[in-house]
Every structure is written in C-alpha cells, then in structure tokens.
Structure 1
Amino acid sequence: MSTAQVPVLLRFLTQDAKVPLATAIGKTPELQKANLSSADQIAKADIQVLRDIFKDQKVAKQVLNAGKRVSKKRGAPTDTTAASPEKKRKNVNITKESTPFEIESALSLPTPSVPDSELQGMVVVTNRAPLVLAFAVCVLRYTMPEQPISSRLSLGQALVSANSRSKAVSLGIENGQSAEEEGWGEGQPVVKVLGREIRVLKRWDYNPREGQPTAPPIQKASSSNPDLADDFLGNGDINDADKMPPLWGVDLEAARSSQRNPDSKKKTGALPIYTAQSARSYLLRSISNVQKTPTPSKSKSNTAKGQDNEESVACLLSAIDFVCRSWATNLNKEELDRRAWVWYLKVRPDVQSGVQGWGQKGQVKISDILALRNDS
C-alpha cells in the first residue's frame, strides 16, 4: 500500500470501523504488511489475521464487519480493481493532540470512484470562487511540491479572498484600500499563486511527517505511476534550509480588523491565517454535480448530498490535475502558474456579469477542462 492510501485506510478504520485514531495509526503498518489496505480486502480477510493484528477479538470483528458493510455498499469490486475512496466522510476532526501526520491525513482531498473514461461526460455546478480554489490547490502541487495539503488549501483560500475583494471593489460593493494596500503585509514573505502575490507565514516548526506510521519505502513517481505516493504530505525536507517550509496564507483583512476586535480567533502566532479546514469545507460544499434525472419530489438527505458533492469535487480535481500533470514536464513552475490562471478563465462558469451575477452558479464541463491538455 502506498502512503497515498494511508488516509483512505485511516478514514475507514476511524469512521466506519469506529477504531480510535491512535490505534488506527498504530495498526496501519501491520495491516499493510498483511496486504489489507482497503475495506474490500479487509472484508475478505480471515478473522484470525485481524485478531492477531488488533490483539482484541471484539475490535477484530468490528473491523471485519465494517469492511463487509462498506464493501457491500460499494458493490464489492474485485481484487484487481483499484480501491475507491470511502464515500462516507465526516467533518475534519482535528484536535490539539493531533499529530501533523494526522492533520494532513484528515485534510487530504477525495479521489474519484469513477474510472477516468467516465470523467469526460461529467458536468459540475459551482460559482467562480470555488473553481479558483480548485485550480490553485491542484497547480500548487506542481509549482510548490514541497507544500503539504494544509498549506495548499490555505494559500488557495488566500488567493480566493484577494480575488473576491478585488471583484467586490470593481463592482462598487466595497470601497477603500485593501489591507495589503495599506501596508498590513509589510515584511511578510510573498509567493505567487495563479499570478497573484500572496503574503505568507513560514511554519518552521512544523513537520507534516511527524507521527507518520512506519511504512515500506515510498514508491517514486514514474511514467506508469505519475502520482507521488505521499502527495498530501508534500515532498519537502524540513531540515533543508534551501527549501521553503510549510506555509500559511496570511489573512491581512482579518489582521486589520483585529485592531478593532482584539478577541479575533483566526490567529497562528501573531498573525491571522486562512485555515486549511475552512478552505476544505468550502470546497466540498460549493461544488455539486448536474442531476441527469432530477426528482424534486424526493429530496436527498444531507448525507447523500455531501457524498454527491464529494464525488463532484474529486472528479473536478482529478481533471485539473490531469491538465497540470500533462504540462508540468514542458513548462517551468512560473509559466505553469501563469498558464493555470488562463485555463481557469477559459472554463469558468458563464454567469451574468455585474452585481446581479455576483456569486451566481453555473455549469463547468469536465470535458472542457480535459481539453486543456491540448491547449496551445
């Protein structure tokens, strides 16, 4: 099992099998050695193998039954089928006791359960801001590969906020200088995300691999396996002074507002930041799929809607990643970053311009995004 599958297994153990997170992390390497890396494989496991791993018959049965339940719900794919992500997801639960690895695992984004061949026909519904966030999170994987998923989400949300304020000013919804223009970001480092300068806070004391369970060597990327196995952790070395440490996007508007409100909670150190949890939540609730056969008389439950949204986000991110990956070997990081903004402009929802179209949702065809692989 590659490290990229670890968060999927952890989510299954903690959410479906109700195993405490600390226990789940400790048992992951043993499950890996026993080739039990997915709910489908666990469903077919011998109870004695699970008993030997968990050292508790009740917990072993609990895990086996959860595996059978999840596998049955997904139609029990064969062993040769790649394990699809768990569909039942809860809100990110991060506590003060969570290790960096646990935090990054919880923040990892969904991957699609549909085969690549079916992406072409999909259509999602969203407004422009979440689509900007999706493009930013994907392109940062290639322009700043050392950054873990928490940093990519924070930087992407900082970009969305800056763009939204600029749009609000242009429409006359807001006026006056921005916090950046008033100098609130003075002295903070700057990085570029989709061509826009973002003020950042360096997290020198943060190692995303802290707390990571022992596992076999990570499989390196290759032509047949272009995805880095530990993508959600980033590929940076915290001890390498020449590499950028994990970053937070600084919320300059909140910094300015906190002068009037000293009780502002949005702080890390001395500066408010864009939290990865809120960015992830925003992404998952702001993108949905187009229903081919709508049934207005039967409203979906919140759980079903959440699962549909998650699948839509997964497919959208996968399509954008295909495009970024196809160009990453031909463009340098600066050009890839600039080009990504052009790609976004080509596929953004076609909504009414002006104040009346502010925040309006529209359709985005996945096929239009995939066509960008041939963009000239």
Structure 2
Amino acid sequence: MASAQDIQTLLRFLSQDAKVPLAQAMSKIKDLQGAKLITPSEIAKAEFEKLKTVFDDDKVARQVLNAAKRVSKKRPSGEVSSALPPPLPKKAKPSYGEPLDPATFEASLALPEAERDEDNLKQVVVYTNRAPLVLAFAVTLLKYTMPEQPLSSRLSLAQAVCSANSQSKAKYIGLQTAKTAEEEGWGEGQPLVSVMGRQIRVMKRWGYTWREEAENSPASSQGTILGDSQEDVKAELLPEEPALWGVDLEALKKSNGPVTIGERKASANDLPIYRPERTRAYMLKAFDSKTTSGDKPSTGKKKAMEVKGQNLGMLLASLDLLCQSWAHVLSKDDLDKRAWGWYVNVRPEVKSGAAGWGGKGNVALADILQLRRPAS
C-alpha cells in the first residue's frame, strides 16, 4: 500500500508537473493506486492505453504520460519532486500538513471532557452563536454515524457542514447573491456524504492510518477514535473505509481559478480542505457562560478561556448523552436525519433576517438533555 508521503508526492506531480486540475487529480488517486502507478517513473513506463483507462481522456492521459517522462529524465527513479528536498531523517515532510505520527496528531486535537453528572449539566447555560453549536452537534453526531472516522476527520466534516449551512443562510437572507462554488459545479467528481441531513463533498485520505494495529488480532480492526476517550463508540467490526477530509469548495474554486497552475503562489500542501486544527480552535473559544447583559464575562483572558473550554466539555457531554440515548434504536441514517431537528430545537434565539447574522444567545443544556429518548 502506498504511504501518505507517496500519495502527497503523486498529487503534487499531477497538479504541478502534469497540470491536471486539482479536483480531477484528487479523484484519480485511487485509480492510479489500483493500477500500481504511484511514482512518475512508474507512470512514464506505463502503456498509454492503461493511462487512458484511468483518466478517461486521451488528451489528459497523454499530458500525464509526457510529464512523467519529462520529470523522470530530470531525476533518478523514486526521487521525490524537485520542488521538495529529499525528506530528512529527523524532520520528514508531514503528510497533507499533518505530523508523520497520526496518533500524535489525533491526540493533539482532543476536545475537553466533562463529568456526566446530569444534575450539574442541567444547571449550565452557555452563551454562543449558532455556527459553533452546529459544529458541536456535528462532531458528536459523527461519533455514532461514522464511528470509523478519526477525530481529525470529524472536525473537518463538521466544518464543511457548518460552512455549507452558513452559505445557504447567507443566500436566504440576502447577504450573498453570487452562486456558491458547489452551485457552479466545483464539487463535481468528489464523493458525497450526509451529515445532519446535508450533503457535503469529501476527499478520501488514502494511506492515512491512525489506529494502532496488533498483528493477527481481530480486535485491532475495531480501533479507537483517538483523542476522544469520552465513552468512544465501540463498533462491532468497523469497515475498512479511509479517513475523510471535508472539501472546502470555495478554496478549490480559487485554486483552479483564472490563474494557471504554474503561476500559483500557494504551496501544493495547501489542499482545499477544512483543517481540523482551526475548527477545534474556534470551538474552544466559542462558548461563554450565560450573562445577564449579553456581554462577555469580565474575567481575565486566561480564566475566560478556561471557562469556555469547560463549557464546551459540558456541551459535548450533553450532546453525547442525547445521541447515546437514541443510537441503539435508530439506524445511522435516521440518527443523522434527526440531528438537525434537535439543533433547531435548542439553537440560540436571534433576530430574524440579516440583523440576526452572527447574533448570540443562550443555550440551556437542560433543553438538550430533554430531547433524549425517554427511558423505557
């Protein structure tokens, strides 16, 4: 199986050297893996008909083949793109911006946890706007609807949902009139998944292995969602599905805009995806405590951040209790469909129309817990 570094190098070759549009390049990674065409050298030696089968286009296939032959002449077989130096022993290039150790990366994204004392949770009211609440709902929901996904993927997918919802809302209230990248077809060819009833475009993270696997151990296929020890979902046998990124279609549109690939200033590492680090950072500072005036608490910055982190932990604990109560009686699809309705029931009240854009309000955790399935 190709490593994450191999896939990164292949994607860089396709987009930079062969000048294949990034969206098309990403969609062909799996096919090239299946054809055992991972390096420019392997592609240069391949039969043209084989490449035609992969790219479904004579012109693109010829373009890729010629680029591979040209690149292979410039450097020895197996050497990485000339745009990058050979990886150093102690400071190897990260995969798609991630550390080479996926377990460390996932652990670095850990979200705050809180005691599941229902009496205490029912007393908590957080002060926030709607976008971070959507994120909290989606991140928690995905533990149950896509338990095979690591925390980094759940954060990325949650941001994709939040951004798509914000775009729809902006158009509905008249703040945005231009077509979105999705409406213009920039997501064409990328797989779709449903999160909170909304279809979002994703990119498969081939070669990204984050679970610790014990050889010849059946239990190893179950895995653990790293960085989220709060009663991790135990799947009987998780399918061998790759981790996913939520694709940032607006960024994809900009990267393939009127500027040609050869003239781009952005690094090839800047893939058009929603970065989980940014989503986590946003969530950590998004949940104030309830205030009577609606102003932020007057505590020091460090203490305020601690309080916000605690509030996020308690919110996630309440949402987890909600999903947990329904998970054993609803299918994953039904659970996904129900989630948006739950969100609408508890989201903060804001002014209607453009006046309420970004507005904040109170969210009582007792209202979230009230949505749980009644005990039988």
Q: TM-score, normalised by structure 1?
A: 0.64
The whole-number CA distance in structure 1 between the counterparts of 2:130 and 2:167 is 13
CA spacing shift, 1:346–1:265, aligned 2, 3 Å: farther
State the partner residue of 1:202: 204
Deviates more, 1:282-291 or 1:313-322: 282-291
Q: Alignment partner for residue 241 of structure 2, among 240, 244, 249?
A: 244
CA spacing shift, 1:375–1:113, aligned 2, 3 Å: closer
The whole-number CA distance in structure 2 between the counterparts of 1:136 and 1:333 is 13
Match status 1:110 vs 2:112: yes
State the partner residue of 2:177: 175
**Secondary structure at 1:208 match in 2:** coil
The whole-number CA distance in structure 2 between the counterparts of 1:235 and 1:263 is 44
For 1:34-73, list aligned pairs within 5 A.
none
Q: 1:194 offset after TM fit, Å?
A: 0.3
Deviates more, 1:201-210 or 1:117-126: 201-210
State the partner residue of 2:251: 254
State the partner residue of 1:339: 338
Q: 1:98 offset after TM fit, Å?
A: 5.0
The whole-number CA distance in structure 2 between the counterparts of 1:266 and 1:126 is 36
Q: 1:230 offset after TM fit, Å?
A: 8.4
Q: 1:236 offset after TM fit, Å?
A: 10
Asked if structure 1 preserves the Cα contact closer than 8 Å seen for 2:123 and 2:366, the reply is yes
**Secondary structure at 1:178 match in 2:** coil
Match status 1:284 vs 2:284: yes
The whole-number CA distance in structure 2 between the counterparts of 1:105 and 1:114 is 22
State the partner residue of 1:363: 362
The whole-number CA distance in structure 2 between the counterparts of 1:295 and 1:252 is 35
Letter in 1 for 2:284: L
Unaligned runs of 5+ in 2: 1-95
State the partner residue of 1:127: 129
Q: 1:195 offset after TM fit, Å?
A: 0.4
Q: 1:204 offset after TM fit, Å?
A: 1.6
The whole-number CA distance in structure 2 between the counterparts of 1:295 and 1:347 is 21
Q: 1:232 offset after TM fit, Å?
A: 6.9
The whole-number CA distance in structure 1 between the counterparts of 2:240 and 2:236 is 7
For 1:75-114, list aligned pairs within 5 A.
97-113=99-115
Unaligned runs of 5+ in 1: 1-93, 222-227
Letter in 2 for 1:322: L
Give identity over the alignment, percent.
45
Deviates more, 1:283-292 or 1:316-325: 283-292
Q: 1:267 offset after TM fit, Å?
A: 5.0
Asked if structure 2 preserves the Cα contact closer than 8 Å seen for 1:105 and 1:232, the reply is no
CA spacing shift, 1:236–1:201, aligned 2, 3 Å: farther
Match status 1:274 vs 2:274: yes
The whole-number CA distance in structure 1 between the counterparts of 2:321 and 2:148 is 19
Asked if structure 2 preserves the Cα contact closer than 8 Å seen for 1:104 and 1:148, the reply is yes
Deviation string, structure 1 residues 259-290 (Cα, Å, up to 9, x no partner)? 2573346956xx41000000101111111112
State the partner residue of 2:350: 351
The whole-number CA distance in structure 2 between the counterparts of 1:115 and 1:366 is 12
Asked if structure 1 preserves the Cα contact closer than 8 Å seen for 2:112 and 2:312, the reply is yes
Asked if structure 2 preserves the Cα contact closer than 8 Å seen for 1:185 and 1:252, the reply is yes
Asked if structure 1 preserves the Cα contact closer than 8 Å seen for 2:112 and 2:313, the reply is yes
Letter in 1 for 2:362: Q
Deviation string, structure 1 residues 10-67 (Cα, Å, up to 9, x no partner)? xxxxxxxxxxxxxxxxxxxxxxxxxxxxxxxxxxxxxxxxxxxxxxxxxxxxxxxxxx
The whole-number CA distance in structure 2 between the counterparts of 1:147 and 1:284 is 21
The whole-number CA distance in structure 1 between the counterparts of 2:208 and 2:236 is 11
Letter in 1 for 2:369: L
Rg larger for: 2
Match status 1:138 vs 2:140: yes
The whole-number CA distance in structure 1 between the counterparts of 2:193 and 2:280 is 21
TM-align CA RMSD: 3.4
Q: 1:229 offset after TM fit, Å?
A: 5.2
For 1:8-27, list aligned pairs within 5 A.
none
CA spacing shift, 1:260–1:283, aligned 2, 3 Å: farther
Q: 1:202 offset after TM fit, Å?
A: 0.5
